[in-house]
Amino acid sequence: MTGMLLSPSQLDEFKAEGALQIRGLIPADVIDDWQDQLRAVCTGGVDLDKPSTWPAGRYAPEGGWPELNPNQYDVLNLQSIVEQIGGGAFASSHPAGHPWSPQVPMTRVILPSEPGTEWTAPLDGHLDGYATGWGGGFMVFFAVLLWDVSSPTGGGTAYWPRSHLANHRHFLKHPDQFDGSYLFTEPVKSGGHRALLDDDPSVGDVVCMTGNAGDAIMVHGLTTHIGSVNAAGSQQPRVAQFARFSHREMREQAPMVMFPDKDGTPWKPPPGTQDDDNQGTGFLPLGHPGRDLIRYDVSENLWKYWSDALNTERP
């Protein structure tokens, strides 16, 4: 059985923009089930259908959001598209150093801000795959809406169009920073991810996702993005679930990635893993053979590790 596939023009749009909206990725019956499961676990009097019960801003029930059934990674439409764009090479991302296990997609709920708060567009974003404990060839993520978001001020995932190309250009100039050390190097150290975009006129203004329940946005791993604020007075909850994919072979190299914590503390393998006594050493020194891992390869062709579908020139 084949699920949804992207058309050539959708693939071209994704390549050009670094993000693609996919309508109806998740079938309506699955969305209904997921909504019921989320409604059932809300605590503290919160009712996702009654704005009068909502606390302001980010919300999660006590104990966090549960794994939903079916797991987003098992939805056929998502699997077909990931197979189409990755040619079998992509698999769900997981923390560096841990043996692989089935992943639970992240659920994130953003409720409206306090009354009277003015909505402002996000000023800066980030790239996934560089946070503590990650590592290993992050390729793409999918943000799926579980409730409608009709307004760009409704808390949808925000991204900078064409920033994947600007970021790629930066890493082509500074391939040694692709291990994550760009975060601790100027101009990003002082100016944030914005600093890699500001001088590039081809990067578009930030876009905040809108759509109906079941719609998704597919975002390239090098596209700068961030959460946005759900405007005060909004009557819609921004409820989204995120599935992230890495390159299988790079994912397997994750235990060899040396990556410092956000404050610069060298990354260490998690306690209890076989490399427990192997102290983190910070970023691999230049010339270290570990830098030859494909995880660190910044190739001229941004689509080198993607399927033929992304590497076909169309007239």
Ligand X SMILES: O=C(O)CCC(=O)C(=O)O
Task: Name the residues that contact ligand X, by CB under 6 A.
Answer: 108, 128, 143, 157, 225-227, 240, 242
Nearest to ligand X of 175, 242 (CB atom): 242
Tokens of 235: 């009557």
Nearest to ligand X of 157, 163 (CB atom): 157
C-alpha span between 145 and 230 (Å, rounded): 14
Check if the beta carbon of residue 86 is closer than 8 Å to that of residue 306. yes
C-alpha span between 197 and 20 (Å, rounded): 20
Nearest to ligand X of 171, 242 (CB atom): 242
Phi, psi of 143 (to 5 degrees): -105, 120
Nearest to ligand X of 212, 273 (CB atom): 212
For the bound state, the minimum distance from the C-beta of residue 128 to ligand X, rounded and expressed in Å, comes to 5
The amino acid at 137: G
For the bound state, the minimum distance from the C-beta of residue 159 to ligand X, rounded and expressed in Å, comes to 9
For the bound state, the minimum distance from the C-beta of residue 105 to ligand X, rounded and expressed in Å, comes to 10
List residues bridging with 219 in a β-sheet: 19, 141
For the bound state, the minimum distance from the C-beta of residue 157 to ligand X, rounded and expressed in Å, comes to 3
Tokens of 86: 């990755």
Residue holding tokens 């759509």? 211
Nearest to ligand X of 60, 226 (CB atom): 226
Nearest to ligand X of 77, 224 (CB atom): 224
Check if the beta carbon of residue 136 is closer than 8 Å to that of residue 254. yes
The amino acid at 22: I
Cis peptide before 187 (omega within 30 of 0): yes
For the bound state, the minimum distance from the C-beta of residue 143 to ligand X, rounded and expressed in Å, comes to 6
Check if the beta carbon of residue 256 is closer than 8 Å to that of residue 135. no
C-alpha span between 126 and 225 (Å, rounded): 6
For the bound state, the minimum distance from the C-beta of residue 67 to ligand X, rounded and expressed in Å, comes to 17
Nearest to ligand X of 127, 293 (CB atom): 127
Sequence-distant (6+) residues with CB within 8 A of 269 are 97, 255, 275, 276, 278, 280
Residue holding tokens 């076909």? 312
Measured torsion, CA atoms of residues 80, 85, 91, 94, in degrees rounded to the nearest 10: -120
For the bound state, the minimum distance from the C-beta of residue 106 to ligand X, rounded and expressed in Å, comes to 6
Residue 202: CB atoms within 10 Å: 11
Nearest to ligand X of 82, 110 (CB atom): 110
For the bound state, the minimum distance from the C-beta of residue 235 to ligand X, rounded and expressed in Å, comes to 19
C-alpha span between 135 and 226 (Å, rounded): 19
